[in-house]
Structures are given as C-alpha cells and as structure tokens.
C-alpha cells in the first residue's frame, strides 16, 4: 500500500470514528475511566494477598474481560454528555470555552463519585471478598447501620481525605487532558449528530443487550472471576435481579421426576407424605415428647476454625470448647449462606437457600411453617431476641409475622446497657436481657423456645473494656473471644436458674466470617460449629456426619421426641443423616449441593457443573454425578415452588 493510500485509508477510519472533533474529549474521558477501573482491579488483586492471582496468564484474561465491562459502563455513563456535545451550539471560540467550562463543572461530582466508588470497592472487598453484590444493594436500605459501621470500623477522616485527593487528581486530569479537545470545537451540527447517535444511543443499547454477568465466570477461581467484574455493573445487576425465579433461570427437571428424586433423598419421609410434595410428611419421634425449654443461640460469624475443638491454638473459645466437650458437638455442619438472614431462614424454616434474597426479606413471608410454630403447638412460647434493632434485615416483621414474640434492644433501659455499637448492644447485655425474659416466663409457669441472635462478633469488633485480654476494636479474634466470654458468663448465670435443668441449649453459628474463596462455593467458607448442651440429659459426644443448617430444626425436634406434621426440607442428623450425608449452600446466585466429596453448582441461565469439593477442579460426568445433579435440582426446584405457591404456609 502506497503512503498516499495509507493516508487516505487512515483518513477514512478517522471519519468513521465517533471520537472526532469535540467528541475526542469523550474518548479521553473514557480512557481515564478505563484506566481508573484497571488500577482498582490490579489494586484488589494485590490487596487480596494471593500472589497466584497476579500470574500473567490469570490476571490478563481478568483484565481483558474487566475491560469489556468497563467499556459497557463507561459508554453508557458518557451517553448524556454525548448529547450535550451534539446540542451545544457552535458560535466561535467563546462557545467552545463555555462548553468546556460547563463540562468541567459537571465532571466535579462525577469525579467524586468515581473516587468514592473506587475506595468503597476496597472496603467492600475487605469485608466480603467480592465486588458489589446484593449486599451492597441492601446497604442502600440500612444506611444508618452501614454508615455507622464504616465510622466505627475505619478512620473516616482519612478515608474522606483519600477520596478528596483522588477526586482532585482525577478531575485535574479530566480538565487538563480529557477536555483539551474542546478548546477548538467548532463543528457544525451536521458533523455532530452522527457521533452523538453512535455514542449516545446505538453503543449504549448494544452494550446493554450484549453485556452479561456470566462473562466474568471464565475460570474455576472465584476470586479471579470477581476481579473480572465491574462494581457499577455488578451493583446494577444485583439491584435488577434481587429476586430470581428459579424455574425461569435455573436448570429444572420434569416435576414428577423432581418429586421422585426428592422423596428418595428424604430418608425421614413416611408413608403419609403428600404425593406431590414429599416434604409435607408426618415425622414420628415417639409419643412421649419432652417438655424441656429450648434456648438456641445463633452466634454471629463464628467459623468452625476459630474453635480449639477444630484445631485452633489461639484459645479464643475456651467456654465454647468446654461446652463442646460436655455436650454434643456436630463437627461437619455447613451454613447455607454467608449472611445472617440465610442462617435465620435455615434454622427457622428448614428450607434450602433458594436463589436471590432470603425468605426473611421477601414479601408475603408471614404465616409460614416454622420451628417456632412446632414449639407453639407443644405449648412453648416462641421468642426471638436480638441485640440490635429488629427492623434491620426485616427480622421483626418476619419473626413477628410468624408467631414469635420479638424482643430487641428497645427493651433495654440505658442503665442496662454496658456497651453498644452501631449493630447492637454488647452480647453480655443481650444475654442479661434474655435471662430476665426467661425468668419472667418461668415465673408465670410458661415453657419457652428462645432464639437468641448475637452481634458482637461483627466489625468493628468493639466490646466493653477489661472483659478479655484482647483490646476492643483491634481484630476479629477479639470479637470471637468476647462473644465466647459472654456465652460462658450466660451459661454460668443460667445454671443458677430454676429452669436450667429443664432446658436444652443449642449454640450454632449463623454463618462463617469468610465471604468467598478460590472456588465458587468453598467448603471452608460454610463450615460452622453446633453444640447441643443439656448436662445430665444429653451425653457428651461428637457427630461427624455431613449435615446442613436446614437440618438443625428436625434434629432438635427429634432429640426432644416431638412428633409433628413437617413441611421442612431438612432431616434429623442423628437418625437420617448417616444414610444421607449432604449439605446445601449458596452465595446468592450460585446454589449448591455437597455430598461424596463433590459439589454440584447450579447457576443462572441453566448452567450447572460438578466439582471436587476440596480442589474445585471440574469433574467428568458419570452416573453418580448425574444422580447428584438431579437430587440437587429437585431440592431447589421444589423449595422455590413451595414458597412461590404458598405450600410453606400454615393450613
């Protein structure tokens, strides 16, 4: 090709490019946005402290896929400015200066938002090891708790200073370099409408249709996939798909086949089960139910790895370890999710973690068949006690709408609170409140089932001074040790009550402290302890059967000899677990089923796969794997149907 032809070809390409004339400025602003997001992505990889993420053959595809998302978000965000450039009249250089000045003023808040989002990505990653997801969407609702948590957990003036400095730097680059092409902007409208049409309408529409969240799922490493995402896009996607229709987006079976699979999986099923709904069945635990009270404590973020009973050498949980040695310790129990509402859902409703929000936060969630309802039918008063404000995460509405007496921090007078932070009162104050409430019920001759939800083992990890040897607000280990201290104090005080010998205590975590790992559903991120303690009534021991949080309610009722008509999807770990060891878990969109060293992963758009539970390596299809896959589908398909069609409602 001759030099003249090359110049003619180059000129043709420039003529076709929408980034010409004053629109060259948009191209430069887009480059700045792409560069900022690439820096955030690399920064998160370094912040993760996993050097394997930095290998070029791993990081390069994450950056390339991330670039696609960044282009999508950047071009959509610049579309309004493209129309501004098209419609701003041309009347000589003063007009060009006016357009540049106006755009510069517009970029001040945009630079601030971009800087704030970039910093927020790091704080969110630090807490959840993820880009923005549905948790970030929830934070829009509970701004008081979220802002309070940030204020109490981080050096807020320093963070705001960083945001301010980044805003000035980003705006300075945009003003001096990004808007420089506007200095000589004098194109007529006839030359402006085509670029505006491309950048302001065609490109955004194409990108909205073509950009798919699944693009970032390019590897078997969950953290690498998260790096490939984009905070803006992921936030919008989580907001758009807060509730997910399982049958529309996930793999299903013909209903008759799903029913048959679930019936076979439910070893506790009885001949009286409803043919079309195998979870609706009679459970025969004998005809002499125990009249004991029950106190179930959900412990915030207590991973099994924190306990000495599971090999931890830091002596963080001496009181729980003692209870584990004197009670029944379940060593292979797995949480259904990574948030408190998932744990509350699993314990109270015994249902798999269906995609989207927990049922605790969904509409029309009153009048359901719950563990509290079974106890109510036995003459117990179901009570939910929480150290924070019950409006958070819809707890009061859910438990109150399902027959529980809800008691939260509003029941405490100022002199009864030794310490509080944004999430709630110190656990010792919550347990003191619990003792007073249970004493009052006992004095009235009432039996009770009390579900107690702690808060102290949560960032900012603050608690009363002098209780433990780890200073407040220094580490999660301090939060764990303080909660353990409060539990030990609670048990010793309860031991002095007249109702102690007639009470069964359950200590179980709501979820672990981990968000994600290299795998989509890493086992360590779901492994939690459970201790059932009733000295003189329950012999010490260990239960090593793989089990799920949804099995807590059936197991507890089985130990108490309570027979009932069940709508639970869980099973009695002691009676049915050995024949059907399995666990169900989810991370919002990916739902899973763990058994026989494998995990079935079910994802949106009908995708599924089976991986090795420890390594995360994809496993070849075989007959056993196909059976596992169908069993997993049957659990989630029928659980989603049960809630949607009201089958979980009381008669």
* pLDDT-based confidence at residue 376 (cuts at 50, 70, 90): very high
Question: What CA–CA distance (Å, rounded) separates 78 from 316?
Answer: 52
The alpha-helical segments, DSSP class H, found in 309-351 are: 318-326, 340-349
* pLDDT-based confidence at residue 280 (cuts at 50, 70, 90): very high
- The residue with greater pLDDT, 605 or 96, is 605
- The closest of 529, 469, 114 to 329, measured between CA atoms, is 529
The alpha-helical segments, DSSP class H, found in 23-142 are: 24-47, 56-87, 93-128, 134-141
Q: At what angle do helices 143-153 and 134-141 cross, to 10 degrees?
A: 100
**Cα angle vertex 352, ends 549, 424, to 5°?**
55
- The H-or-E segment that residue 383 falls in is strand 380-386
Q: At what angle do helices 56-87 and 93-128 cross, to 10 degrees?
A: 150
- The residue with greater pLDDT, 7 or 292, is 292
Question: What CA–CA distance (Å, rounded) separates 552 from 573?
Answer: 8
Question: What CA–CA distance (Å, rounded) separates 169 from 373?
Answer: 59
Contact 181/25 with Cβ under 8 angstroms?
A: yes
Q: Which of 190-194, 386-390, 448-452, 625-629 has the lowest mean pLDDT?
A: 190-194
> Residues 153-158: what's their mean pLDDT?
80
Residue 139, pLDDT score: 67
The pLDDT tens digits for 598-645 are 999 998 888 899 999 998 899 988 999 999 999 999 999 999 999 999
Which residues have CB under 8 Å from 557's CB, separation 6+? 283, 285, 371, 374, 564, 572
b/e 529-555 (16+ beta carbons within 10 angstroms → b): bbbbbbeeeeeeeebebbbbbbbbbbb
Q: Which of 5-9, 226-230, 517-521 has the highest mean pLDDT?
A: 226-230
381 beta partners: 448
Render 469-506 in DSSP notation, one character per residue: SS-TTS-HHHHHHHHHHHHHHHHHHHTTSTTGGGEEEE
- The closest of 393, 608, 418, 377 to 510, measured between CA atoms, is 393
Structure-token match 């991370």, residue found: 587
Residue 516, pLDDT score: 65
Q: Which of 188-192, 233-237, 398-402, 501-505 has the lowest mean pLDDT?
A: 188-192
> Residues 303-327: what's their mean pLDDT?
97
Question: What CA–CA distance (Å, rounded) separates 121 from 195?
Answer: 33
Exposed, middle or buried, 131 (CB in 10 Å: 0-12/13-18/19+)?
buried
- The closest of 169, 174, 167, 171 to 25, measured between CA atoms, is 174
Q: Which of 338-347, 357-366, 369-378 has the lowest mean pLDDT?
A: 357-366
> Residues 15-36: what's their mean pLDDT?
85
- Return the percentage of the chain with pLDDT > 70, whole number: 91
pLDDT(134) > 90: no
Which residues have CB under 8 Å from 501's CB, separation 6+? 536
* pLDDT-based confidence at residue 143 (cuts at 50, 70, 90): low
Contact 294/283 with Cβ under 8 angstroms?
A: no
CATH 3.40.720.10 fits 290-581, yes or no: yes
Which residues have CB under 8 Å from 94's CB, separation 6+? none
> Residues 2-27: what's their mean pLDDT?
61
Classify strands 293-299 and 503-509 as parallel, antiparallel or unpaired.
parallel
Average model confidence (pLDDT) across the chain: 89
Residue 11, pLDDT score: 45
Q: What one-character DSSP code corresponds to residue 467?
A: S
pLDDT(237) > 80: no
* pLDDT-based confidence at residue 87 (cuts at 50, 70, 90): confident
pLDDT(39) > 90: yes
pLDDT(442) > 90: yes
Q: Domain map of the chain by residue range?
A: 15-240, 290-581
pLDDT(431) > 60: yes
pLDDT(256) > 90: yes
Q: Which of 152-161, 291-300, 399-408, 425-434 has the lowest mean pLDDT?
A: 152-161
* pLDDT-based confidence at residue 7 (cuts at 50, 70, 90): very low
């Amino acid at each position: 090709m001759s030099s003249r032809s090359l110049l003619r070809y180059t000129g043709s390409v420039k003529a076709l490019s929408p980034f010409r004339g004053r629109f060259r400025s948009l191209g430069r602003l887009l480059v700045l946005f792409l560069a900022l997001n690439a820096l955030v992505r690399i920064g998160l990889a370094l912040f993760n402290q996993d050097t394997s993420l930095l290998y070029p053959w791993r990081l390069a595809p994450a950056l390339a896929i991330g670039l696609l998302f960044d282009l999508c978000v950047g071009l959509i965000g610049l579309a309004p400015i493209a129309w501004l450039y098209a419609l701003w009249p041309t009347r000589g250089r003063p007009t060009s200066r006016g357009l540049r000045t106006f755009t510069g003023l517009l970029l001040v808040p945009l630079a601030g938002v971009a800087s704030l989002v970039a910093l927020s990505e790091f704080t969110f990653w630090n807490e959840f090891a993820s880009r923005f997801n549905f948790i970030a969407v929830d934070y829009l609702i509970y701004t008081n708790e979220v802002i309070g948590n940030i204020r109490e957990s981080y050096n807020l003036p320093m963070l705001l200073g960083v945001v301010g400095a980044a805003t000035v730097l980003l705006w300075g680059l945009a003003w001096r370099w990004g808007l420089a092409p506007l200095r000589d902007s004098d194109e007529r409208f006839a030359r402006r409408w085509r670029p505006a049409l491309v950048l302001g309408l065609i490109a955004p529409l194409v990108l909205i249709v073509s950009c798919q969240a699944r693009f970032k799922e390019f590897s078997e490493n969950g953290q690498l996939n998260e790096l490939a995402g984009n905070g803006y896009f992921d936030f919008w996607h989580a907001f758009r798909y807060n509730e997910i229709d399982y049958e529309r987006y996930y793999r299903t079976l013909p209903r008759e086949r799903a029913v048959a699979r679930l019936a076979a999986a439910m070893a506790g099923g009885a001949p009286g089960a409803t043919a079309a709904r195998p979870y609706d069945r009679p459970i025969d635990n004998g005809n002499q139910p125990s009249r004991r009270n029950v106190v179930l404590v959900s412990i915030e973020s207590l991973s099994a790895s924190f306990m000495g009973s599971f090999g931890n050498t830091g002596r963080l949980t001496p009181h729980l370890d003692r209870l584990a040695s004197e009670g029944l310790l379940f060593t292979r129990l797995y949480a259904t999710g990574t948030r408190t509402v998932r744990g509350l859902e699993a314990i109270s409703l015994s249902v798999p973690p269906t995609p989207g929000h927990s049922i605790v936060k969904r509409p029309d969630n009153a009048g359901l068949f719950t563990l509290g309802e079974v106890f109510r039918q036995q003459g117990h008063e179901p009570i939910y006690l929480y150290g924070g404000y019950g409006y958070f995460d819809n707890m009061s509405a859910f438990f109150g709408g399902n027959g529980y007496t809800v008691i939260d921090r509003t029941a405490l007078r100022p002199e009864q609170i030794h310490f509080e932070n944004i999430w709630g009162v110190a656990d010792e104050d919550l347990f003191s409140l619990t003792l007073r409430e249970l004493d009052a019920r006992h004095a009235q001759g009432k039996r009770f089932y009390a579900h107690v939800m702690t808060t102290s083992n949560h960032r900012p990890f603050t608690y009363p001074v002098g209780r433990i040897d780890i200073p407040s607000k220094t580490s999660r280990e301090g939060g764990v040790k303080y909660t353990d201290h409060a539990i030990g104090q609670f048990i010793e005080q309860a031991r002095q009550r007249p109702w102690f010998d007639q009470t069964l205590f359950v200590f179980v975590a709501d979820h672990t402290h981990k968000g994600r790992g290299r795998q989509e559903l890493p086992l360590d991120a779901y492994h939690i302890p459970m201790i059932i303690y009733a000295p003189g009534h329950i012999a010490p021991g260990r239960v090593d059967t793989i089990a799920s949080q949804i099995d807590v309610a059936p197991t507890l009722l089985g130990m108490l000899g309570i027979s009932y008509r069940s709508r639970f999807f869980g099973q009695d770990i002691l009676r049915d677990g050995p024949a059907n060891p399995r666990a169900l878990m989810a991370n919002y969109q990916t739902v899973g089923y763990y058994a026989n060293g494998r995990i079935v992963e079910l994802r949106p758009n009908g995708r599924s796969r089976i991986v090795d539970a420890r390594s995360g390596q994809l496993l070849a299809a075989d007959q056993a794997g196909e059976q596992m896959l169908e069993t997993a589908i049957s659990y989630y398909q029928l659980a989603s149907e049960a809630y949607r069609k009201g089958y979980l409602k009381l008669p």
